[in-house]
Amino acid sequence: MKIIGIAFLVLSCLIIFSLVIDISQQFTIHEALNNAISPFRVMSIGETFTLWFLVFLFFVQAFYFSWKDKRKKK
Shared domain check, 55 and 35: no
* Selection from 53, 54, 11, 56 nearest residue 36 by Cα: 11
Give residue 8's domain range. 1-42
Q: What is the pLDDT of residues 55-67, one digit of tens each?
A: 999 999 989 988 8
Shared domain check, 38 and 13: yes
Shared domain check, 48 and 22: no
Shared domain check, 49 and 38: no
Number of domains in the chain: 2
Shared domain check, 37 and 64: no
Q: What is the pLDDT of residues 8-48, one digit of tens each?
A: 999 999 999 999 999 999 999 999 988 888 777 777 888 88
Strand intervals (E) in 15-55:
none
**What is the pTM assigned to this prediction?**
0.54
Shared domain check, 27 and 6: yes
